[in-house]
Amino acid sequence: MVPYETAAAAPPIPIGNPPASSSSSSSNTIIPKPPEIDGLLAGAGYKVRSSDLRHVAQRLERLETAMLNSPSQQLSLLASDAVLYNPSDLSTWVDSLLSELNQSQSLPSLPSDLSDLMSNPTALDGSWMDQQLPPPTAAVHNQQPPQLTVVTAVEEDSGIRLVHMLMTCAEYVQRGELALAGSLIQDMQSLLTRVNTGCGIGKVAGYFIDALGRRVFAAGGGGGVPGGSAYENEILYHHFYEACPYLKFAHFTANQAILEAFDGHDCVHVVDFNLMHGLQWPALIQALALRPGGPPLLRLTGIGPPSPDGRDSLREIGLRLAELARSVNVRFAFRGVAAARLEDVKPWMLQVNPKEAVAVNSIMQLHKLLGPGSPGDPARPAPIDAVLGWIRSLNPKIMTVVEQESNHNQPAFLDRFTESLYYYSTMFDSLDACALQPEKALAEMYIQREICNVVSCEGSARLERHEPLANWRERLTRAGFRPLHLGSNAFKQASMLLTLFSAEGYCVEENEGCLTLGWHSRPLIAASAWHAVAETAVGAVSDVPVVGGVVL
Amino acid sequence: MPAASRNSIGGGGGGRGFGINDDVDILTEVLKRLDGRSLCVAACVCRLWSSIARNDSLWEELCFRHVSPGARPVVVALGGYKRLYMVCVRPVLKRLALARPRVWSPVEVQLSLSLFCVDYYETLAGSGPPSSLLFLCNPVNV
């Protein structure tokens, strides 16, 4: 996605250098500086004042159109005969070139799209300056009809514009200037009609504009996630499971680690923080059935939201898993724990037997505990610490943690917005490469809900507080856990899983004993394994044990 | 019923020598050595061959029996070797662009069995055909 990569490479423009094109009031509220030379262009050898950026951009564009439309003879005259002074001063150089061209022909009238581009002050904040500018000697364009090149420039340009408008809008939201943000959202929505929203930057931008709109226009601040019954969530989750490999990677990697940790134990107990349809567990049951020495007694405790209509969905899943376990001759017992939030679960509900080996499995659940928690008693520990505390008290043999690899929990809204724009664009790119049609649309809805939650919710409503692996490492170490390295079997299994998936851009990487799955070298999901250290031994842990491989 | 099979089941005498359909055990041994596609074709020849081809042990040869002999009860419980082959092994081989006579690595065996198990689990749900393995059947997007 070329337009977006350009923007991602130059985030400092909206944040660092106050863009000349955003409303002049913004420059005044920031500490006034002397008219300064734009830093990025100075690095390329051009001296342009930041305040002149928009003017120069407009002129360059007109120059391009003029060059495209002028006969080649005149261009060669321009290249060889024109005398231009001081090309590093872009502003005057462009003006002089334009006047040279003007002498022989009048400038063509610009297509309405381009003139719209120039009249919209918020859009052109140096977007043209991101790309490497051509050297002053005019490059004669080849014989493409001018119409075509202008159209594609507008398409690509619209994508770049959208991204810059999104960033500017997010900045307004952060500063509390909701009226400006609102009008910008309306501009973006009209620009969306001119962009291809079927794929690429148009599609992602559409979702983010929608989420920003919910935030800005919702009465009482903090727009809600669209729809959202638990049943719908399960369906979307299932389609997300089928359309792309992230959840399969999570399940198989966690299962491999749990299988290795349970080696030699005859009574094992798995606690699943989010049962959903229980898609993770058939593979573990089958692997336990085939392990040398025979299967253990397996207990599974599945945590899930209570079902509103009286159906005991947890029990139904449990029955299905029990039937599968029975057919492969694995002794199995299931218990369901219905809880609206993970912090409502108390360890006694899990009924852990001290003699059994316990595995705790959390697939994208721990980040929901990073919110402010229930207000009231300031002496109570934060939800994440409370939950990690009771997990530790269970003394699990292994805790598998899979989380999104991105920081969507920074205090500043603009930082969160920027990071999530990059993250979800990459994820949508990877989804585009998968061909399963009906699953893809519903998988996109699943991702859209996450985006809405990250962008438009706040406080305790904002559950999707993703944090990167480094943060989780630190937090879990502080809570008394030590890492277990995922062995090479897990890596091989993940690699093979990816070869089976049709798209070629996925990559598995090993990161200090943890595995990450990403798209084109951008990790999107990280899997890690931990175990609790006994209280007395906290200071004495030296080696990190590598979980041995059990090969079937 | 096609003429050839009727003649041979009725008795191969009359100076015609041995017919392939005379001895079911020999026929089974022969069919056991076929590759997947040929076995599917053989199953369409006549009712006798079709019933032999339905014998799950023929399909076991095509899957990775030699790597994981203890897996048989599990595979049978999850739907049998023929289903394992059609739903899992054949797409995997195709996707990995491999010829049949090769050594399966333990990781490949385990992953294929895991995928097969998820597929079986979905049939238990009874809500439409299982879809978790659909990703295996899509053309490679290069």
Place of tokens 């219905």: A338
Q: How large is the average pLDDT for residues A431-442?
A: 77
The tokens describing A247, both together, are: 């959840």
The predicted pLDDT at position A10 comes to: 39
Q: Which candidate from A241, A320, A551 shows the least CB-CB separation from B124? A: A320
Say yes or no: A322 contacts chain B, CB-CB below 8 A: no
Average model confidence (pLDDT) for chain A? 77
Pairing of strands A522-532, A514-519: antiparallel
| Alpha carbons A453 and B47: distance in angstroms, whole number | 60
The predicted pLDDT at position B129 comes to: 67
Say yes or no: A285 contacts chain B, CB-CB below 8 A: yes
The predicted pLDDT at position A83 comes to: 62
Percent of all residues in chain A with a pLDDT value above 90, rounded to a whole number: 39
Q: How large is the average pLDDT for residues A336-353?
A: 90
The tokens describing A259, both together, are: 């299988």
Say yes or no: B24 contacts chain A, CB-CB below 8 A: no
Place of tokens 């000349």: A20
Q: Which candidate from B106, B125, B135 shows the least CB-CB separation from A242? A: B135
Q: How large is the average pLDDT for residues A506-512?
A: 92
Check CB contact under 8 Å for B109 and A320: no
Please name the amino acid found at residue A163. Answer: V
Interface pTM, i.e. ipTM? 0.76
The tokens describing A189, both together, are: 């929505």
Instruction: Provide the pLDDT confidence category of residue A434 given band limits of 50, 70 and 90.
Output: confident
Q: Are A323 and A332 in contact (CB under 8 A)?
A: no
The tokens describing A471, both together, are: 């943060």
- Higher-confidence residue of A466 and A148: namely A466
Run of H or E residues at A400: strand A398-404
Q: Is the pTM of this model over 0.95?
A: no
Q: Pick the range with the lowest mean pLDDT from A58-72, A102-116, A422-436.
A: A102-116
Q: What are the CA-CA distances from residue A211 to residues A183, A425, A442, A532, B103 (Å)?
A: 15, 14, 18, 39, 51
Minimal CA–CA distance to A69: which of A109, A97, A117, A118? Answer: A109
CA-based nearest distance B58→chain A, Å: 21
Question: In A70-220, which residue ranges form alpha helices assigned H by DSSP?
Answer: 72-81, 90-104, 112-119, 146-175, 178-192, 200-217
Q: Which candidate from B74, B131, B141 shows the least CB-CB separation from A328? A: B74
Check CB contact under 8 Å for A496 and B142: no
Q: How large is the average pLDDT for residues A52-79?
A: 72
What are φ and ψ of residue A345, in 5° steps?
Answer: -80, 135
> What pLDDT, in 10s, does the model give residues A188-219?
888 888 777 777 788 899 999 999 998 888 75
Q: How large is the average pLDDT for residues A452-465?
A: 89
Beta bridge partners of A522: A519
Q: What is the 3-state secondary structure (H, E, C) of A189-253?
A: HHHHCCCCCCCHHHHHHHHHHHHHHHHHHCCCCCCCCCCCCHHHHHHHHHHHHHHCCHHHHHHHH
Q: How large is the average pLDDT for residues A76-93?
A: 67
Place of tokens 């944090």: A467
CA-based nearest distance A87→chain B, Å: 45
Q: How large is the average pLDDT for residues A66-93?
A: 68
Minimal CA–CA distance to A365: which of A382, A341, A389, A347? Answer: A341
| Alpha carbons A377 and A383: distance in angstroms, whole number | 12
What are φ and ψ of residue A401, in 5° steps?
Answer: -125, 125
Phi-psi group of A102: left, alpha or beta (phi > 0 → left; psi -120 to 50 → alpha; rest → beta):
alpha
User: Which chain A residues contact residue B139 at CB under 8 A?
Assistant: 435, 502
CA-based nearest distance B105→chain A, Å: 10
User: Which chain A residues contact residue B73 at CB under 8 A?
Assistant: 328-329
Q: Are A407 and A419 in contact (CB under 8 A)?
A: yes
Say yes or no: A246 contacts chain B, CB-CB below 8 A: no
Work out how many CB contacts closer than 8 A connect A with B.
Answer: 103
> What pLDDT, in 10s, does the model give residues B59-118?
887 776 555 667 788 888 888 888 888 888 888 777 777 655 567 778 888 888 888 899
Residue B139 pLDDT > 80: no
